[in-house]
Amino acid sequence: MKETAALPAAASGVWVFAEQRAGIVQPISHELLARGRRLADARGAPLTSVLLGPAGDDGLREMIRRGADRVLHVADPALQDFLPEPYSAVTAHLVRERRPDIFIAGATTTGRTLMPLLAVLCHAGLTADCTQLEIDPATGELLQIRPAIGGNIMATIRTPLCRPQMATVRPRSMKPAPPDPGRAGEIERLTVPPELLRSRVRRVAFEPADDEGGGIQKAEVVVAAGRGLKKGANFDLVRRLARALNAGVGASRDAVDRGWIGYPHQVGLSGKTISPRLYFCAGISGSVQHLAGIKTAEHIIAVNLNPDAQIFKVADYGVVADLFELLPLLTEKLEARKKSARAPGTEGSG
């Protein structure tokens, strides 16, 4: 086979931007590696993970086990916390030196700040908040698919001329690949010129949020409700069912906007994207914007008074019923089962 005079860009493959907090590699990194791996395989190119700031060896190796062929690590303490200037200067430096063909990051507060800076510094195209990324079999280009106009349409975007082709993808919109202990890869530790590390923004303090609602992205089960709940106090019904299922509590924007529950609980386009094993919702109509947040839920159970509610189009199991009748009945049944499982003579209590 003749050696192809491919663009240097095409040769240096697919990059993902990994994130650490306090030295711990974040789950978004593994999700990006799962996506990146598919793209890299489709392109027949290597997959590189870029990590800035301190991280333990095991965290770096874990990224190889999860699909990276190479990890580029710049450990400088100046990169401990995300600061736009040093982060963008260092990544731009790496991009200019090694010319990746594709570069993806999480649509997190970090990724959504870093990538637009990088796009300008490197004269690259950037698509925000993609839910799907594919390689066009005809051209090898990255097809970036994202919801637009409030989730009413899906747009496919490509970047014909500029490299790298960049995109941010929603956290939790793809499951990480299980670690493969046998995978081989290389960890490359880099130092960068000190002038790249300057920042005119200084981090003065940090105050962790109470985990209220923060848990819904991690929860195996999420129980959610919307305007059908009629008033905020009725969230007690939802919380009780959530306790019985060991679930997180979610809400539609309508419920959040009415002040019934805090914004951290909002599921959907302008709230959180979640991928629970089970999403249980009551009194939610299933607007496209809401559905944008639950596309990757494995199972959906819905309760709604209106048989024509959109939510039934995506539910695996639906009941057309009054949530004020159904929720207490269901909760009692589940609580009774729990109790009998905990009865004397059986284990699992305490």
Partner 1 sequence: MDIIVPIKQVPETSKVRMDPNTGVMIREGVESIINPLDLYAIEAALQLAEGCGGRTTALSMGPAKAEAAVREAIAMGCTEGVLLSHRSFAGSDTWATSFALSLAIRKRGAFDLILCGERATDGDTGQVGPGIAAWLGLPVVTYVSRILECGPRAVVVRRMIEEGYETLEAELPCVLTVVKEAAYPRLPTLRGKQRARAATVPVWGPEDIGAPAESLGLKGSPTRVVKVESPSLARHGDVRTPKDPAELERAVDGIVDYLERLGLT
Ligand X SMILES: Cc1cc2nc3c(=O)[nH]c(=O)nc-3n(C[C@H](O)[C@H](O)[C@H](O)COP(=O)(O)OP(=O)(O)OC[C@H]3O[C@@H](n4cnc5c(N)ncnc54)[C@H](O)[C@@H]3O)c2cc1C
Nearer to ligand X by Cβ, of 305 and 341: the residue is: 305
State both tokens at 81. 């916390």
Cis preceding linkage at 164, omega within 30: yes
Nearer to partner 1 by Cβ, of 33 and 247: the residue is: 247
Return the number of other C-beta atoms located less than 10 Å from residue 3's C-beta: 5
Q: How far is the CB of 278 from partner 1 (least distance, A)?
A: 6
The option from partner 1, ligand X, none interacting with 271 (CB < 5 to 8 A, set by class) reads ligand X
Based on its alpha-carbon atoms, the radius of gyration of the chain, rounded to whole angstroms, reads 23
- The candidate with the shortest Cα–Cα distance to 275, out of 250, 305, 255, is 250
The option from ligand X, partner 1, none interacting with 223 (CB < 5 to 8 A, set by class) reads none
Options 114-122, 167-175, 284-292, 341-349: segment touching ligand X (CB under 6 A): 284-292
Region 36-95 residues binding partner 1, contact defined as CB under 8 A: 81, 84-85, 88
Q: Is 199 helix (H, G, I), strand (E, B) or coil?
A: coil
Q: Binding mask 198-237 vs ligand X (x if CB under 6 A, - otherwise)?
A: ----------------------------xxx---------
Region 254-273 residues binding partner 1, contact defined as CB under 8 A: 269
Q: Binding mask 115-144 vs partner 1 (x if CB under 8 A, - otherwise)?
A: xxx-xxx-xxxxxxx-------------xx
Nearer to ligand X by Cβ, of 48 and 234: the residue is: 234
Among 32, 79, 281, 315, binds partner 1 (CB under 8 A): 315
Contact status: 157 vs partner 1 (CB under 8 A): yes
Contacts of residue 67, defined as CB under 8 A and 6 or more positions apart, other chains included, come to: 33, 34, 36, 37, 47, 177, 183
Contact status: 304 vs ligand X (CB under 6 A): yes
Cα–Cα distances (Å) from 291 to 16, 111, 219, 256, 281, in that order, read 27, 23, 18, 16, 11
Residue ranges in contact with ligand X by CB under 6 A: 150, 226-228, 252-255, 266-271, 282-285, 287, 289-290, 293, 303-306, 309, 322-324
